[in-house]
């Protein structure tokens, strides 16, 4: 279980999660998610990858937020 005040941030490397896990403010920010797991709780995927071998099930009664990386759309003169 990932819990407590604040967020659990995964910024780099490969994070392997296995089994049924309850998460609180879990943020994937640049790391690669791998493993066979069922996640319940609050997950934000901001950037990073899900490994080809990852088998992730999200509990439908909780929140999963997928935030695409912002791109600078301003044109150069």
Residue pair 34/16 in contact by the 8 Å Cβ criterion: yes
DSSP annotation of 2 reads B
The residue extents of the domains of the chain are: 8-66
- pLDDT tens for each residue of 17-73: 999 988 888 888 999 999 999 988 888 888 899 899 999 888 876 667 777 655 555
Rounded CA gap, 23 and 63, in Å? 10
- The structure's pTM equals 0.72
Give the number of other Cβ atoms within 10 Å of residue 33's Cβ: 21
C-alpha distance from residue 41 to each of 23, 52, 74 (Å): 5, 23, 36
pLDDT at residue 69 in the model = 56
Which structure tokens are listed for 57?
């099930």
């Amino acid at each position: 279980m990932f819990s407590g005040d604040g967020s659990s941030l995964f910024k780099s490397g490969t994070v392997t999660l296995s089994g049924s896990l309850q998460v609180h403010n879990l943020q994937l920010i640049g790391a690669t998610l791998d493993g066979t797991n069922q996640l319940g709780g609050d997950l934000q995927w901001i950037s990073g990858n899900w490994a080809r071998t990852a088998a992730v099930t999200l509990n439908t009664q909780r929140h999963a937020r997928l935030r695409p990386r912002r791109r600078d759309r301003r044109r150069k003169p």
